[in-house]
């Protein structure tokens, strides 16, 4: 899986925007103005940071050596995921959950604006 596949998958979701707010390397994807995925484009192997349910985070970290607490982020809720060696379905499931957690945290008005675009 490469960065373009992940980017295309994310951009197909409603209300997603992309930017480089931190530097010229770290792509940040947001929904409703809130981050749900970070991807350092120059890092190999490819890595993404995603938000996950804390209970699932603990399971993932035990089961997969590629999943760890995200550097410089709340490690209870955010994971750094090295995509090498992980199934595509799992990576998409992680992205989906991150998007849903952030989308569900938005105000009712913000959610409706995104849905009605």
Strand partners, 48: 81
Q: Which CATH number fits domain 3-111: 3.40.50.620, 3.40.366.10, 3.90.1150.10, 3.90.1150.30?
A: 3.90.1150.30
87 secondary structure, DSSP code: -
Q: What is the dihedral sign for C-alpha 19, 5, 95, 57?
A: negative
Mean pLDDT of 4-33: 96
pTM (predicted TM-score) = 0.93
Give tens-digit pLDDT for 34-70: 999 999 998 889 999 999 999 999 999 999 999 998 8
Question: Where do the domains of the chain lie?
Answer: 3-111
């Amino acid at each position: 899986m490469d960065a373009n596949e992940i980017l295309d998958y994310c951009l197909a979701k409603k209300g997603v925007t992309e930017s480089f707010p931190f530097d010229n390397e770290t792509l940040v994807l947001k929904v409703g103005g809130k981050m749900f995925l970070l991807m350092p484009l120059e890092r190999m192997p490819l890595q993404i940071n995603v938000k996950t349910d804390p209970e699932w985070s603990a399971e993932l970290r035990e089961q997969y050596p590629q999943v760890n607490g995200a550097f410089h982020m709340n490690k209870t809720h955010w994971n750094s995921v090295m995509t090498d060696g992980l199934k595509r379905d799992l990576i998409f499931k992680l992205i989906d959950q991150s998007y849903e957690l952030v989308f569900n945290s938005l105000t009712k008005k913000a959610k409706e604006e995104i849905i009605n675009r």
